[in-house]
Structure 1
Amino acid sequence: MQYETLSNHSWISANNIQFGHRPQGHQQTEDAMKFNLDDMSLDELRALRKQVDRTIDTYKERQRQKALAELEEKAKAMGFTLNELIGGKKARRSSGIPKYRHPDDPMTTWTGRGRRPDWVKEALANGKSLDDLLI
């Protein structure tokens, strides 16, 4: 009888799906879960297909998580964090604390860094100083 491997722990033969390790000589074991597709109702078949589809869809992410956990464990055993070894994401730089406020719109502010906003240029052109705009 020919067997087709689905994964390390499942295999299929004709209309039977067997979960568990395929024993030597293709003998069935008590701890293996068996499904005879011919004996299943349409609802059971659809539920099984849904489970298989979900498992397939999440396979890559589960493998990625497993690999990540193994790498983190190995790094920890060597006295490092994984981020230290791979140069993980650095903390994002803050945009800064506002230092100046628009005279007419208190919600509009400027940190004093970078190009001057138009409202600061207009205030300076109208005779105000940066000290007048300080928060």
Structure 2
Amino acid sequence: MDINLDAMNRQELVTLKTRVEKALASLEARRREEARKAAEEAAREYGFSLPELLDKSKGGKGNALPKYRNPKDLNQTWTGRGRQPAWFKDAIRAGTEISDMEI
């Protein structure tokens, strides 16, 4: 694709620059999502969720290992810290024992 930049005025160049930046951001977001999905699929093939495979040895806030797993969607986990996720509350209301959701 040939674009004659020399023939464009300042506003056209600024508009083109803005469109290119948006296109690059969109491309990066799509590629990141594709990579995340591929990583999740690879982890599932080995019987893990992606968070289980991430390095949790760095310490600090947010690095707790999951303690509970949604029996209806094995990709949803909860560390047992902070607010209970909706799927956890729903399962309890439906009669699921907490011990049945422990990992």
Shorter-chain TM-score tier: 0.3 to 0.5
Greater fraction helix: 2
Structure 1 length as normaliser, TM-score?
Answer: 0.31
- Higher relative contact order, chain-length normalized (CA < 8 Å, sep 6+): 2
Greater fraction strand: 1
Q: Which of the two has higher C-alpha Rg?
A: 1
